[in-house]
Structures are given as C-alpha cells and as structure tokens.
Amino acid sequence: MRFEKLGNITEIIGGNPAPKGDDAFGAEGLPFVKMKDLGRYHLTNNLIEIENRVSNKVAKSNRLKTIKKGSILLPRSGSVALNHRAILGVDAYMVSHICALEIKNPNLLANEYLYYYLTTINFSSITKKTTGLDAITFQDLAQVIIPVPDYPYQLHIANLLSKAENLISQRKQSIALLDEFLKSTFLEMFGDPVKYEKGFVKCRFGDFVDKIIAGSSYGGEQKEYLNEDELGVLKVSAVTWGVFSVCP
C-alpha cells in the first residue's frame, strides 16, 4: 500500500461558463454537463443522461474544453457539500462549477477504484469562500491523500462496490415501482380525492375533530389551544407537534 497526492496521480481539469444565447444549446454536438446532471443520481459510475448539447460551432466560439469519457466529476463550487460523484460515460463539456479528474497512468490506478474512494471523502472540510460561494481550490484538491493498493486489489475492491451499487440501484427502482403501484391502486379503488370522485365531499377540520391542541416550542412551557372559531383553519405558530382528538 502506498499513498499519493491526488495532484500527482490525476490531472485536475476545470470547466467553462455555460454558453449564452438562444442558440447556445441544441440537439447536436457533445453533451454539456451542468450541476443538475451531476446531481441527478448523486453517485453514478456511468453518467450518460445529460440534458443539454453544444454544437461544435458554439463550443469553438466559447473555447469549451472537451472532458474525456471516464473522467471522474465532482462539484468544485456552490454545491461542494452535496458530495456528488460521477464517472463520465461520454466525451462532454462541463460547467465551471464542476471539475474533472483524469488519471495520469491507468495502468497503475483503476478509474473505478478512485471513484469509489472519492465517494467516502467529504470535501466540505477543504472549501473556501470565493465570490460568496463555497469552493475548492485546485491547489487544495491536489493535496488530498489517496491510498493506492496493488492494482489487482484495486480492481477487486471496485468490482465488489460496483455490484453493491447495482443492487442498491435495483432496490431503489423496485421501491419506486411499488410506490407507483400503491398510488394507482388507491386511485382505482377510491378515485382522485382532489377531483372529489366516487362520492368524496369537502369538509373542514372542525367538522370531524373535537379540538386541536398544539404543543409548545422545544424547551417552552406554553401551550396554545385553538378556539371554536379557529377550528378547521390551521394557524399554529412556533410549534413542533400537534395532537388531534377525533370526534366520537
């Protein structure tokens, strides 16, 4: 096991300001990665879903740098604390709030190993205020220490974590499908309550509760009770919990 500074084992590359104008983005050209693209999955080892594209003409006039497929992306300003990470799945351009890491010697450092290790680091600890935003300087990023085991062991670690990430992704998809199933089953059984289908009627809270009791703010002793005139109109200030007693 050896330890290396990030600046010694990767090229740290900055992005460009987003092109301006009505013709800045279109259906052709390379993708242009923005922060919302990077944050869509929070962590992904294959970022290919990118909303905007930039034509060669616009890219040339704005002097956009091409970021190579396989580069590791992370926020460098504004959203650093969110700790998004991605391996770029296609050649692309990127906005200046993101930086890319390109491994200098792929025979000594596995790309996915570095990606997974970087997901364990919270870069908030090395941010500084620049123009009002939290940001990481390239100099500080270059000083981050990375443990570098033997190459076969890097591949073994990356393979295990990739399988775990895929299982987590599949579980999230299953939960999302189940959630949609529950919603569709509810609508089939009861209709859309917003549209008052299948006999639903409007009613105020005061029609079906006896009284509404609000708890006090944390550490306080005062309790606030709503009188009969206020039933059904929820105006509770500075409270953390509410208790509803249902009419018999």
How far apart CA 60 and CA 66 sit, in angstroms, is: 11
Are residues 120 and 54 both part of a single domain? Answer: yes
Which three-class secondary structure state does DSSP give residue 40?
coil
Low-confidence ranges of the chain (pLDDT < 70): 130-131, 193-202, 205, 215-248
Amino acid at 244: F
Could you give the angle at which helices 111-118 and 151-190 cross, rounded to 10 degrees? 60
Are residues 93 and 77 both part of a single domain? Answer: yes
Give the pLDDT confidence score for residue 216 in this predicted structure: 61
The token pair at 176 is 């999302």
Question: How many domains does one find in the chain?
Answer: 3
The reply to whether 200 falls in a domain is no
How far apart CA 65 and CA 92 sit, in angstroms, is: 8
- Cβ of 47: how many Cβ atoms within 10 Å? 25
Give the pLDDT confidence score for residue 197 in this predicted structure: 65
Are residues 188 and 135 both part of a single domain? Answer: no
Give the pLDDT confidence score for residue 206 in this predicted structure: 73
The answer to whether 244 and 208 are in contact (CB under 8 A) is no
The reply to whether 70 falls in a domain is yes
The reply to whether 198 falls in a domain is no
Give the pLDDT confidence score for residue 247 in this predicted structure: 41
Give the pLDDT confidence score for residue 134 in this predicted structure: 85
Domain housing 236: 205-246
Q: What phi and psi, each to the nearest 5 degrees, are found at residue 228?
A: -65, -35
First to last CA, the chain: 70
The most distant pair of C-alpha atoms in the chain lies apart, rounded to whole Å, by 75
The reply to whether 178 falls in a domain is yes
Are residues 239 and 144 both part of a single domain? Answer: no
* pTM for the predicted model, two decimal places: 0.69
Q: What is the pLDDT of residues 78-134, one digit of tens each?
A: 888 899 999 999 999 999 999 999 999 999 999 999 999 999 999 888 888 766 778
The reply to whether 117 falls in a domain is yes
Are residues 54 and 169 both part of a single domain? Answer: no
The token pair at 25 is 């983005």
Give the pLDDT confidence score for residue 215 in this predicted structure: 67
The token pair at 131 is 């123009």
The reply to whether 199 falls in a domain is no
Are residues 133 and 229 both part of a single domain? Answer: no
Are residues 241 and 123 both part of a single domain? Answer: no
Q: How many helices (H) and strands (E) does the chain have?
A: 7, 15
With a CB cutoff of 8 Å and minimum separation 6, the contacts of 226 are 211, 212, 214, 235, 236
Give the pLDDT confidence score for residue 83 in this predicted structure: 92
